[in-house]
Amino acid sequence: MKELETLKKEFETNIKEIKTEREVDDIYLKYLGKRGIVNKLLAKLATLPSGDKKVAGTEINNLKKGIQRLIENKKLLLTTENIEIGDLTLPGIKPQIGHTHPITQMKKYAEDIFLTMGFEVVDSVEVDNDFNHFETLNFPKGHPARDMWDTFWTKEYLLPIAHTSTMQHRLLKTRKPPFRAIIPGKCFRHEATDTVHEHTFYQIEGMYVSKTASLAELIGVLESFVYTYYGYKIPYKIQPTYFPFVEPGLEMLVEHKLKNGQKKWLELIPAGMIHPNVFKMAGVDPNIYKGFAWAIGLDRLVMLKYGISDIRDFHKGDLRFLQQF
């Protein structure tokens, strides 16, 4: 693509003129940030004919990798230039360069996969009110299903969100169907912790609304995502479940290896067809539009990627663990 070649030359010219680490951060945001040039190009893939998407997606990802490599080289160059020259006969010292948290790394990777599938990335709130968190999701006041969520509450009767589904009503009110979006966010629950449960964790909510959305499409999207994310056909199964805001509801379970070598099924993605009452609360006619939604457990996604057996390791702050990534 001529546009990509021009963009590559422009970036190479800009990176050569950079003199400080601050400028490196700025150029990263400009090209590779969430609202950067490359992600905008990925978002445009949805508008291309189906035959052109794969070729264009490959070219854009190659451009992205090239830009990442040049930025890393520039950072290393600036770091070594700032080291005082001493005895040149001494052994070399590898500069200590930090890196993002493994969950942040995999969050960006997951976002890139969904961007190539035509999904928009929307930021989630971290504190919300009862109306968005429960009522708009088909939880009437006093409904026993509210007990499924062990929530925290502030003195102002607000909630640190227990699920990213709290954003569904906002999107239905502000987006005109058809639309597709993912909403990564941090969640909080007042519950006992163990090897697969934490009080603070991350989800990637997803929504697709159109006149023809179906359960088969939902399963196809989730399967395409997990196969791309893990790089192989990871064993999974689909089983029915219950959530007030979807009907029917289902969950995708994937095979998880325990410390003792045994394997078990781990719930990874609760999902389902958006309940008609959720559409009605947002003023969307469920007789015209259909949709599906899911909430991927990002921490568990990373656990399976790297064979991590205890979800609590992510937040202990142990550098011996974090430096492996």
pLDDT tens profile 10-43? 888 888 888 888 888 888 888 888 888 888 888 8
Domain that holds residue 66: 2-82
My answer on whether 71 and 132 are in the same domain is no
**Least confident piece of the model among 52-56, 67-71, 110-114, 200-204:** 52-56
Residue 102 lies in a domain: no
pLDDT value of position 42: 83
Do 71 and 149 belong to one domain? no
Report if residue 234 sits inside a domain.
yes
d(C-alpha 315, C-alpha 136), whole Å? 32
Do 155 and 71 belong together in one domain?
A: no
Give SS3 for 159. Answer: strand
| 83 has pLDDT over 60 | no
Whether pLDDT at 208 is above 90: yes
Q: What is the pLDDT of residues 86-108, one digit of tens each?
A: 565 666 666 677 778 888 888 99
pLDDT in the model for residue 155: 84
Specify the amino acid at residue 201.
F
**Are 77 and 141 contained in the same domain?**
no
d(CA 304, CA 120): 25
Q: What percent of the chain has pLDDT over 90?
A: 35
Between these two residues, 196 and 23, which has the higher pLDDT value? 23
Whether residues 38 and 148 share a domain: the answer is: no
Quote the mean pLDDT of the chain: 85
CA angle 44, 47, 53 (to 5 degrees): 80
**Which pLDDT score, from 0 to 100, does residue 100 have?**
83
pLDDT in the model for residue 170: 94
168 and 273 together in one domain: yes
Domain count, the chain: 2
Q: Both 167 and 309 in a single domain?
A: yes
175 within domain boundaries: yes
Of 256, 268, 264, 265, the C-alpha closest to 309 is 256
Q: Domain with 263 in it: what CATH number?
A: 3.30.930.10
DSSP letter at 323?
A: T
Please provide the DSSP assignment of 239-296 as one string. Answer: EEE--TTEEEEEEEEEEEE-TTS-EEEEEEEEEEEEPHHHHHHTT--TTT-EEEEEEE
Q: In this predicted structure, what is the pLDDT of residue 159?
A: 87
The crossing angle, in degrees rounded to 10, of helices 50-81 and 21-32 is 180
66 and 124 inside one domain = no
End-to-end CA distance of the chain: 34
pLDDT class for 61, splitting at 50, 70, 90? confident
pTM here is 0.66
Whether 215 and 160 map to the same domain: the answer is yes
- Report, as residue numbers or ranges, the catalytic residues: 149, 163, 189, 203, 246, 293
Q: Of the given ranges (24-33, 285-294, 303-312), which has the lowest mean pLDDT?
A: 303-312
For residue 112, is it within any domain?
no
Residues 59 and 134 reside in one and the same domain: no
pLDDT single digits (tens) 142-188: 766 666 667 888 888 888 888 899 999 999 999 999 999 999 999 88
Q: Is residue 248 part of a domain?
A: yes
For 37, the token pair is 């040039």
Residue 194: exposure state from Cβ atoms within 10 A (0-12, 13-18, ≥19): exposed
Distance CA 29, CA 38 (A): 10
Per-residue pLDDT averaged across 34-57, rounded?
A: 81
**pLDDT of 289:** 97
Please check whether residues 40 and 136 belong to one and the same domain: no
